[in-house]
Structure formats: C-alpha cells, structure tokens
Amino acid sequence: MSREFTRVGVIGLGTMGAGIVEVFARNGIDVVAVDVTEEAVERGRSFLAKSTGRALDRGKIDQAAHDTLHGHVTYATDFESLVDCQLVVEAVPEHLDLKKEIFAKLDAIVSPDAILATNTSSLPVTEIAASTSTPKRVVGMHFFNPAPVQQFVEVIRTVITADDVFEDVKALAERIDKKPVIVGDKAGFIANALLFGYLNHAVSMFESRYATREDIDAAMKLGCGYPMGPLALLDLIGLDTAYEILDTMYKQGRDRLHAPSPIIKQMVSAGLKGRKTGRGFYTYAAAGSPEVVADVHTPPEGTAEGVQLREISSVGVVGSGTMAIGIIEVFAKAGKSVTFVARSQDKLAGVRTAIERSQARAVEKGRATQEEADALLALLHPTTERADLAAVDLVVEAIAEDLTVKQELFTELDAICKPGAILATTTSSLPIIDCARVTSRPQDVVGMHFFNPAQVMKLVEVVHTVSTADDVVATVQELCREIGKHPVTCGDRSGFIVNALLFPYLNDAIKMLSANYASVDDIDTAMKTGCGLPMGPFELLDVVGLDVSLAIERELYIEFREPGYAPAPLLEHLVTAGYLGRKTGRGFRTYA
C-alpha cells in the first residue's frame, strides 16, 4: 500500500527550501520547516511571506487560501521536530559532507518507514544514502527554482532505492501538481547535465572576449527564445552554486566541457557570486535585486568616436529562397529600395508573390494598412542581372550554403558594385573570410546572419572578419537597428554565437539518449518544464532537420577540434537512414 503523506519536513530554508515548503503547504500538507538558527528560520519565513504575499497581491490566491497555507507550516531549529514526518526533504547547500551528516542524524530520528529525500542538483544520491542505516529509503527529489512555479521534478532513483519508495515519491510529485521524471543517479541528472555544459560554454565565450555579455545573452534570448541569457541565468543561480555543480559533474564524468571555466572560480573567490551579492557577470542595484545597473563593462551607446557611418539607402539581395524573401521584405518595410536578383523570371515572380501574400495577411490582421503594403511593394525592383546591383549601397547574399558558389558570387559582386558598397553574407556556418579573400575589398565584407523567419525574428548576428573595417561593422549594426532588428556582434568562427552554443547542447542530448539514461520524451520534458525552454532538444532537432544539424555539428567539430563536439553516432545513423525529422516524417519521433 502506498504511503499517505500528511506531514513532511524540509531542512534548509533558503530560496529553494522555502519554495519547497510553499509547494507542500499550498497542497494541504503539513510542513515542518527546519533550519539551524533562529535567524535562518526567520529568513525562510520572510521568503515564504514575500512569495505568498505576491501571489495574494496578484490575485492568484485569496486571503483565506493565504492564511490556510501559512497555517500548514510550523518552524523549528531542531531535527527532533521531524520525528512524525513521513517524508523529509533536505535542501541545504551543495556540500556532500554536510548532506551526509544531516542524513545520518535523520536516520536515527524519523520512523523506519519514512522516506528521506535530497534536493541535490549534482551530488551522488547513492553516497548520501550510504550515510544511513537504511539506504533503500533514500531518494533524490530535485525541484527547480522557483519551486512554486516550476513544474518539473527529477526523482532520482539509486541502485538501492526500494521500488515503493520512488513510486510513492513520484505519486506525491504528481499530487502537488508537478511533472516528475524518474532518472538514475548520474551527475547533473537530465536538466543540469545538459544546461550547465551550455552555461559553461557561454562563460568561455565571454572569457575569451569573443562577444560581450549583453550580446551573448541577447543572442540566446532572441535567437532561441530562451527566457534568460546564459550569463544572466548564472547570476540568478549563483556562481558559487554553478561552480559546485560543474566541478561535481567534471569529477564524475571527466568530460572537459564540464570543467568549470577559470573565471567562475575567480569571481566566486572575489565574492562576485551573482544577484545574491549584487554583482556577478552583471552589476545589480543591490544584493538580491534583479535590477541590472550600468557598470564599467556596459557598452557605450552610439557609434564609437572617430567612426563615420556609411549611408545605406538602397540594398541588393541575391537569392530567391525563404531567407532571401524574408530579408527583402524586412528591408522594404523599413523604407529601403531593394533590388533583388534571382536566376529566372519565374523565381522573381515567386518572390514577389510570396511578399504580396505576406503583406495581404498583414493588412487582413491589422498589422499594416493597404497604403503601407502598396508602398512596400513599390520599393521592390526584381532583376535577373547581377549587373543591376552596381549602384546599391549594400548587397546581402542569401544563396545556397556552398563555399565555391558563394566565392564565385563575391568575385562577381566585387567587380560590379561601386567603391564603398558593403558586401554581406547570411551564411550560418561557412568562414566569411573565405568570401572576403576573393575580393579586392575584404575590409567591406561582413556577415549579416538573419534568423528564420527573417520577418519575425529580431536577431541578426553581425560577424566581422580580421579584415572587416570598423565603419562597416558600425554601419551594419546601425542598419539592423533601423530595420527593427537587434544586432549582436562577434568574430568570424564557426557557429558564431547562437549555433556555437546551441548545437553542442543538442549533441549532448543525443548522447544522453544513446546512453539509455532517459527517453526522448523525458529529456524534452526536463528542458521545457525544468529550464523554461520553448522546445525540447529532440523537438527542435526534428524541426531544424537532422541533416542540417549534423552539418553544423561537423563544422563545429572541425573548427574547434574539441572531442566533445564530435557528432553523436546516433545522429549520423539517423541521417544515413534518411530519418531527417519532420520534413521526412521521421526523426527522433515519427510524424503523421
């Protein structure tokens, strides 16, 4: 018979512990909330009061529910008060010795059939269990912050956890409106094992000065729809916590990608632990405040002194695919005269028709007037002759991802375009310098990587080579803002910002699946509900296309020579079999 949980204990009343207390109490379960000192208990009480107060002010609960919730909670500083609890959840800092000491004490206090759970996000649950006389009743119950909001809970089963223990804990998680996933006792479990590799990579990108903290964070928010950028998220988590998690994961798996970036330890040693100390990668208005304030690392507004912007009143676009159509429409909507080149009249007609349909939908939905749509269409100048680009101020290349083809085009554009015209490529993976070097004006060549659909996505990666002139970069940055886009700037290396951070994470998810650690559905659920991502990794892979994903991962591996970036064999096998995702009806999932 399953256990009936009517009274539970929570040890550790920091942000996470107080959140767990709230979750249980909100669902009508009596909670004994314990911390080591009266001051710590009062702090935990204040965390709970603030959280429930916000819920009351926002109308999410009424006064009666608020009072009932608090009535379910009692506070204490001694472990003896937990004697009648059917479950005790430990939520103290991530120190193995501390957790083992607590579990040894609990083991002698609670009843023999009570369950002991740890909220650890990275430490070995098996080792914690071994500190008790009955390790089969120990389980991991990993909530995500903020616990009252995040639905996902990882239930960690060790090799000695009794079947009824993890089944009862899973049932309890469902009772308190969480989405539990059962996983094995492996460093990082699902969510952190995938999340922290990505976060660590972002720190390395920042540490190498490849891109600013603002651009790294904006790229992942706008390019991938993530709720927070990686560096802002690390500040929220706490750099000390992040270091402990990464260090634990590295020690268990010896994966170099989990070795904490040196700057993390340096910042922790300096007391720069993120929001809780008022300073981490960003500076905050006060300790614990979410308000970011300017500091010495905040980029100055406007154009750098001594840099003169080039005038961009007319643009050219080469290509007739989906991306080219979107870019053409974006420029025309911003009032730019657009000369677009395709290989045939039929291709030109297709581009025009697609834009007309897009504008008709905009008018129908009230996003544009008919006069605005007509004015946009009047700015379009179709041609099959590249020579007609001779007078434009900027040309954007949006043709196939084939370096030879792109080089042929840039050689021709170099001969056609007027002096001072900027030549831009939308490549997402090829070296831009290889396009620049076939011209006599490498200083005028830049990457302008739009995201699909270009009409909707706000992000543009502005990619400079070692030869690109400062005024070209500044001009393209300003042009992006003029056409309603958010530019982020980086150097010319494979993946730029977004793909360089995104695809190693996707590759890690495939490797986790290949190791039979978790299912496609469990991994997707973990990342969507645990980390707030708009899509799980396998859902995203099937949308992008497994062949496209494999090509990008190969480029990253060749560029960085990092063993951890080598494409997972399972991905290569699926592509070889023709299972490319939604476009073929089968990828990691099968579609109707």
The token pair at 382 is 């179709």
Helix or strand run (H / E) with residue 486: strand 486-491
Give catalytic status of residue 499 as yes or no: yes
15-53: b (≥16 Cβ within 10 Å) or e: bbbbbbbbbbbbeebbbbbbbeeeebbeebbebbeebbe
Peptide bond into 453 cis (omega under 30): yes
Cα separations in angstroms, 175 against 4, 26, 156: 11, 11, 18
Strand order in the sheet with 115-118: 73-76, 30-34, 7-11, 87-90, 115-118, 138-143, 152-157, 179-184
The token pair at 291 is 């308000």
Choose the catalytic residue: 51, 261, 429, 499: 499
Q: Say how far apart CA 340 and CA 388 lie, in whole Å.
A: 9
Choose the catalytic residue: 22, 214, 397, 461: 461
Choose the catalytic residue: 192, 261, 358, 428: 428
Q: Say how far apart CA 228 and CA 96 lie, in whole Å.
A: 29
Residues 6+ apart with CB under 8 A from 217: 228, 229, 230, 231, 232
Which residue stretches of 115-162 are H helix?
Answer: 125-129
3-state DSSP assignment of residue 232: helix
Instruction: Identify the CA nearest to 380 among candidates 408, 409, 402, 358.
Output: 358
Report the DSSP beta bridge partners of residue 183.
Answer: 156
Choose the catalytic residue: 358, 449, 553, 555: 449
Q: Say how far apart CA 271 and CA 293 lie, in whole Å.
A: 18
Strands 152-157 and 138-143, bridge-based pairing: antiparallel
Q: Say how far apart CA 509 and CA 73 lie, in whole Å.
A: 39
Strands 7-11 and 380-383, bridge-based pairing: unpaired
Give catalytic status of residue 301 as yes or no: no
Report the DSSP beta bridge partners of residue 317.
Answer: 340, 396
- Give just the sign of the alpha carbon dihedral 39, 40, 45, 47: positive
Give catalytic status of residue 289 as yes or no: no
Strands 73-76 and 459-464, bridge-based pairing: unpaired
Question: Which residues belong to the active site?
Answer: 428, 449, 461, 499
